[in-house]
Structure 1
Amino acid sequence: MNRRTLILSAAALALAPVTAMAEMIAYSPGTAEAAINAGDTVFVDFAADWCSTCRSQERTINALRDANPAYDANITFYRVDWDQYGSGDLATSLNVPRRSTLVMFRDGVEVGRVVAGTREADIRALLDTGL
């Protein structure tokens, strides 16, 4: 191995994430509902790409998930595109008032919700209800 390959390999390894965080599952009708009805622990994020509050929540959620692998080990994460499904059956049945709503389910029951909140402590508390 030459010096250039060694340096490039070391740089690539240094830039690689330490933990592999699972992505949120893109919602399609029936997917989150099936997991909820099966009694899985499910986190549902109603978000829009253009929403600054949603982006702030996403950064916080990703940082918390990266810091605590137990979240990914115990919770299935769904992202519901508000522009596409904001008036759909799932949002309507849950009485979701707006984008930037985060909802946690355990054993088929809603156990917590954050609406338009971006405080790390609030989002962490919601995620902790899934553990």
Structure 2
Amino acid sequence: MNRRTFVATAAAMGILPAAASAAGFITYKPGVIQAALDEGKTVFVDYSATWCGTCKRQARVIDGLRAASGKYDAAMTFVKVDWDDYGTHEVSTSRQIPRRSTLLVLRGDKELGRIVAGTSESDIKALMDKGL
């Protein structure tokens, strides 16, 4: 069973603590990012809002890069933080996230890279490559 099939099945069965979206992102709930980092995982964090046009463009680029190469899913855990719910929460303020449409790559206690409101495929690919 491949990872996406497992994640979709586990989410449907209610096994995963956080819901997994169709795009393979874990929906943020407090503690999800830190738990993954504590397990030694690299985490790609997408701070977005459903109504945000820039966020939608970023999502299309990220989805396309992930579909083109399984190396990203093998190397990173993808977490989506809903800006409307968590924009003023510790998950945003502790990392000084200025706005929705911010993308981060984290490993251990380090931020490996960040993009704020950027939609360039080459820039997003370069950020994702930092997580490999």
Q: Same fold (TM over 0.5)?
A: yes
Partners of 2:62 and 2:124 within 8 A in 1: yes
Instruction: Say whether 1:59 aligns with 2:60.
Output: yes
Aligned equivalent of 1:83 = 84
Structure (1 or 2) with the larger CA radius of gyration:
1
> Residues 65-123 of structure 1, C-alpha deviation per residue, up to 9 Å, x if partnerless?
00010000110000000000011011000000000000001233100000000000000
Paired with 2:45 and 2:91, the residues of 1 have a C-alpha distance of 10
Between the two proteins, the alignment pairs up a number of residues equal to 113
- The letter for the 2-side match of 1:125 is A
Partners of 1:39 and 1:108 within 8 A in 2: no
Partners of 1:33 and 1:90 within 8 A in 2: no
- The letter for the 2-side match of 1:36 is L
**Runs (5+) with no aligned partner, structure 2:** 6-21
Aligned equivalent of 1:8 = none
1:1-131 correspondence runs (5 A): 23-131=24-132
Paired with 1:77 and 1:61, the residues of 2 have a C-alpha distance of 10
**Runs (5+) with no aligned partner, structure 1:** 1-18
Partners of 1:85 and 1:91 within 8 A in 2: yes
Identity %: 52
Paired with 2:125 and 2:61, the residues of 1 have a C-alpha distance of 9
Partners of 2:23 and 2:63 within 8 A in 1: no
Paired with 1:75 and 1:67, the residues of 2 have a C-alpha distance of 15
Paired with 1:112 and 1:34, the residues of 2 have a C-alpha distance of 20
Specify which structure has the bigger relative contact order, considering alpha-carbon pairs within 8 angstroms and separated by 6 or more residues: 1
- The letter for the 1-side match of 2:66 is R
- The letter for the 2-side match of 1:88 is H
- The letter for the 1-side match of 2:26 is I
